Amino acid sequence: MHLRAPAIVVAVRQHGEHGAIVRALTRNDGVQPGYVRGGRSRQMRPVLQPANLVQGEWRARTGEQLASLTVELVHSRAALHGEPLAAAALEWVTALTATALPEAQAYPRVHDALSGTLDAIEAAPSARGWAAALVRYELLLLAELGFGLDLDRCVASGGTEDLDFVSPRSGAAVGRGAAFGYEAKLLRLPAFARTGGEASWDDIFDGLRLTEHFLARDILVDRRVETLAARERLVDRLKRAVA
pLDDT tens for 144-168 read 999 999 999 999 999 999 999 999 9
| DSSP H or E run through 151 | none
Specify which residues 35 forms β-bridges with. 21, 68
Q: Are 202 and 131 in contact (CB under 8 A)?
A: no
Burial of 217 (0-12, 13-18, 19+ CB in 10 A): middle
The pLDDT of residue 224 is: 62
pLDDT tens-digit map of 60-70:
988 778 999 99
Tell me the domains of the chain and their CATH numbers.
2-76 (2.40.50.140), 81-151+189-242 (no CATH)
Instruction: Give dist(CA 167, CA 174) in Å, integer.
Output: 7
The pLDDT of residue 226 is: 79
Neighbouring C-beta atoms of residue 49, cutoff 10 Å: 20
Provide the residue count of the chain. Answer: 243
Instruction: Give dist(CA 31, CA 8) in Å, integer.
Output: 9
Instruction: Give dist(CA 27, CA 31) in Å, integer.
Output: 9
Nearest in space to 139 (alpha carbons), one of 75, 199, 226: 199
Instruction: Give dist(CA 103, CA 99) in Å, integer.
Output: 10
As a whole-number percent, the residues of the chain with pLDDT over 90 amount to: 84
Q: Are 130 and 173 in contact (CB under 8 A)?
A: no
CA dihedral over 24, 29, 34, 37, signed as positive or negative: negative
Q: Which amino acid is at 22?
A: V
pLDDT tens-digit map of 164-187:
999 999 999 999 999 999 999 999
Whole-prediction pTM:
0.94
Section 36-63 average pLDDT: 92
Q: Are 15 and 87 in contact (CB under 8 A)?
A: no
Section 116-133 average pLDDT: 88
pLDDT band at 40 (very low <50, low <70, confident <90, very high): confident
Section 96-122 average pLDDT: 96
The whole-chain average pLDDT of the chain stands at 93
- C-alpha radius of gyration, the chain, whole number: 19
pLDDT band at 128 (very low <50, low <70, confident <90, very high): confident
